[in-house]
Amino acid sequence: MLLLCGTHNMPAMAGQTLHILIIDNNRLRASIIEEGLSDGGRVRVTVLDETAQLLRRIVEIDPDVIFIDLENPNRDVLEHMFEVSRAVKRPIAMFVDQSDQASIEAAIDAGVSAYVVDGLKKERVRPILDTAISRFNAFERLKRELEEAKTQLADRKVIERAKTLLMQTRGLAEPEAYALLRKTAMNQNRRIAEIAESLVLAAGLLGGGEGK
């Protein structure tokens, strides 16, 4: 049963060499993965079977992808590394011996990019790795787009509020209020939404305001 985690800077799919680290005490299984990955070409594989100084070794090896047995106690060490490196999320694939529908659904809900039920064969390793990475990238892109849409909406709201404030307190018309916000933003080299936010915040603190 294996877990696969990409680390920092997941390389783009096409054309680049992946550096893959396999952490497994089971040499036989490690060699199946190694062969499976080498078949696909464009990979460099390092196998670690000792647990000593793992964190330091991973930092030195600096892999793109890590294969580790789900049962390996060093999962906690990896967890620490991810926290230290501050990288956001990574694709995870799980190879399990058997499973039921509920586990598969839960795995997908939890963000596992590929959940492979019928064990580990060498010819399947590379396609699964590719699937996990591409699914993860697609999902991350969707999430980023959603975040951006949300931010835009929030920006628009705060700009509206700031404009209303300026119109009320300084007796400006709407286009003038917007022009003032834009000019201030340009002068301070900041986003209009940021200027609008400071203005709304300041008005709140000074008790000025929206109510008047």
Partner 1 sequence: MTSSTCEVRAGFMPLVDCAPLVIARELGFAEQEGIELQLVRETSWATIRDRLAVSHLDVAHILAPMPVAANLALGPLQIRMLVPMALGTGANSVTVSRELWQGLSQYLDVADFDAVNALRALGRVVRKREAQSLPCLSLGVVHPYSAHHYELAYWLASASLIPGAAIDLVVIPPPLMPVALASGHIDGFCAGEPWGTVAATDGNGVILTTNSQIWQNSPEKVLGVREDWAETHGDGVSRLVRALYRSAEWCDAIGNQEELATILADDRYVGQKTEQIRPCLARRLKTADGELLPVEGFLNFASKAATFPWTSHALWFFSQMVRWGQVSFSQQGVEIARGTYRPDLYRAALEPLGIEIPSANAKVEGALKIETPAGSALGQLRLGPDTFFDGEVFDPDRLEAYLEGFKANDSL
**Which residues of this chain interact with partner 1, rule CB under 8 A?**
3, 5, 51-53, 55, 70-80, 82-83, 89-90, 92, 94, 102-103, 105-107, 109-112, 115
CB of 92 to partner 1, least distance (A): 6
- Which of 82, 131 has the CB closer to partner 1? 82
Place of tokens 């990955």: 37
Minimum separation from the CB atom of position 150 to partner 1 (A):
15
* Pick 37 or 72: Cβ nearer partner 1: 72
Contact partners, residue 197, CB within 8 Å, separation at least 6: 158, 162
Measured from the CB of residue 86, what is the shortest distance to partner 1 in angstroms?
Answer: 9
Phi-psi region of 189 (alpha: psi -120 to 50; beta: other; left: phi over 0): left
Tell me whether residue 14 or residue 205 sits nearer to partner 1 (CB atom).
205
Q: Which of 81, 192 has the CB closer to partner 1?
A: 81
Residue pair 162/181 in contact by the 8 Å Cβ criterion? yes
CB 85 → partner 1: shortest distance, Å? 12
Q: 209 to each of 75, 91, 167, 185, how far by Cα in Å?
A: 54, 48, 11, 21
Q: How far is the CB of 98 from partner 1 (least distance, A)?
A: 11
Nearer to partner 1, 55 or 179 (CB): 55
For 209, residues 6+ apart whose C-beta sits below 8 A from its C-beta are: 165, 168, 169, 203
Task: Give the C-alpha separation, 210 to 212, whole Å.
Answer: 6
Q: Which amino acid is at 41?
A: G
